């Protein structure tokens, strides 16, 4: 039996039995490995630990239950968790919000958004009271606003410029003192947050490969997972995912187009300032 066969069997076992919340020993037994060896091999192949994979499955199931308008207590029970407290912790850790906030589509969340111009095109920036939560380059403003409403159907979304948005404008204009920090308010898995944090440490004018980012995040084998996390970056340019290239040296894909990525990389290489400060993710969950 190959390593792939063992991991595939373990993945199938966890998917079929996640409501029983199997232990590491039980999962390892499916692969006929010791728990220590199974943990290491599983992370190499899946990009996350067995515990984290089980949490993801549990979260997805709970989200489906909540979308069907069941109570938080029922969702916790059907997911195999011991109570609403564990479900609450799971949501806050992995989804960046409480089960109630998810169930109500961000009903308790207030978002402000505005548009601005940058050297790389028009953009939409949105923020909560804690910091910038979204920055996307746009070609169609109406479609960008519609996407924001679709992401948070019950949130209070207002077209209002605020201090965070003005900071973003000054960041694009390179009028951002080294002592100033732009607060980000992000939601993401622990691994995504680690990748995004690693991106913040890539200096302007420099590039990194996907494998280098995965290694900087603490899991050099999770290259594919690192690529997925980079693609899910909610704040373009502020978290500089454009500074990541393929191992071959090719620029690779970019959410807002290969031409814009080439422009970003070239512009930064020509305007590198060694003392320019990077924004700091001061808050990591809604």
- pLDDT on residue 69: 52
Cα 165-189-219 angle, rounded to 5 deg: 115
Q: Which two tokens stand for residue 82?
A: 């011991």
Residue of 94, 223, 241, 264 marked active site: 241
Domains 3-103 and 184-283 share a fold: yes
Q: State which CATH number among 3.60.15.10, 1.10.10.10, 3.90.180.10, 1.10.10.60 fits the domain covering 3-103.
A: 1.10.10.60
- Catalytic: 133? no
**Partners of 94 in beta bridges:** none
Tell me the domain boundaries of the chain. 3-103, 110-172, 184-283
Report CA 156 to chain centroid distance, whole Å: 22
CA distance between the termini of the chain: 44
Considering only CA atoms, which of 153, 166, 162, 159 is closest in space to residue 109? Answer: 153
Give pLDDT < 70 ranges for the chain: 1, 18, 46-48, 55-108, 190, 272-286
- pLDDT on residue 146: 95
Residues 6 or more apart in contact with residue 27 via CB below 8 angstroms: 10, 13, 14, 38, 42, 50, 54
Considering only CA atoms, which of 19, 79, 35, 60 is closest in space to residue 27? Answer: 35
Q: State which CATH number among 3.40.50.2300, 3.30.160.70, 3.30.1700.10, 1.10.3720.10 fits the domain covering 110-172.
A: 3.30.160.70
**Partners of 116 in beta bridges:** 123
Structure letter (DSSP) for residue 119 = T
- pLDDT on residue 282: 41
Q: Is the dihedral of CA 170, 173, 175, 179 positive or negative?
A: positive
Distance CA 105, CA 101 (A): 6
Considering only CA atoms, which of 183, 189, 286 is closest in space to residue 239? Answer: 183
Domain 184-283 has CATH 1.20.120.640: no
Segment (H or E) for 126? strand 121-127
């Amino acid at each position: 039996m190959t390593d792939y066969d063992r991991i595939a069997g373990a993945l199938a076992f966890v998917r079929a039995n996640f409501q029983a919340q199997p232990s590491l020993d039980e999962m390892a037994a499916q692969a006929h490995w010791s728990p220590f060896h199974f943990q290491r091999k599983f992370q190499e192949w899946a990009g996350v630990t067995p515990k984290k994979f089980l949490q993801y499955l549990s979260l997805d199931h709970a989200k489906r239950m909540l979308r069907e308008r069941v109570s938080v207590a029922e969702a916790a029970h059907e997911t195999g968790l011991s109570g609403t407290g564990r479900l609450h912790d799971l949501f806050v850790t992995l989804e960046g919000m409480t089960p109630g906030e998810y169930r109500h589509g961000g009903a308790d969340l207030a978002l402000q958004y505005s548009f601005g111009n940058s050297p790389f095109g028009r953009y939409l920036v949105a923020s909560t009271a804690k910091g910038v939560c979204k920055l996307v380059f746009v070609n169609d403003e109406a479609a960008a606003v519609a996407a924001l409403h679709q992401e948070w159907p019950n949130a209070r979304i207002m077209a209002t410029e605020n201090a965070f948005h003005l900071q973003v404008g000054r960041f694009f204009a390179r009028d951002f003192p080294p002592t100033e920090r732009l607060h980000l308010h992000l939601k993401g898995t622990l691994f995504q947050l680690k990748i995004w944090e690693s991106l913040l440490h890539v200096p302007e004018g420099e590039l990194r490969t996907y494998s280098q980012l995965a290694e900087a995040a603490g899991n050099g084998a999770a290259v594919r997972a690192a690529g997925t996390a980079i693609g899910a970056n909610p704040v373009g340019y502020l978290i500089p995912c454009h500074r990541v290239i393929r191992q071959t040296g090719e620029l690779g894909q970019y959410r807002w187009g290969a031409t814009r990525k080439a422009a970003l990389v070239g512009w930064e290489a020509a305007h590198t300032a060694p003392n320019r400060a990077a924004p700091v993710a001061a808050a990591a969950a809604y």
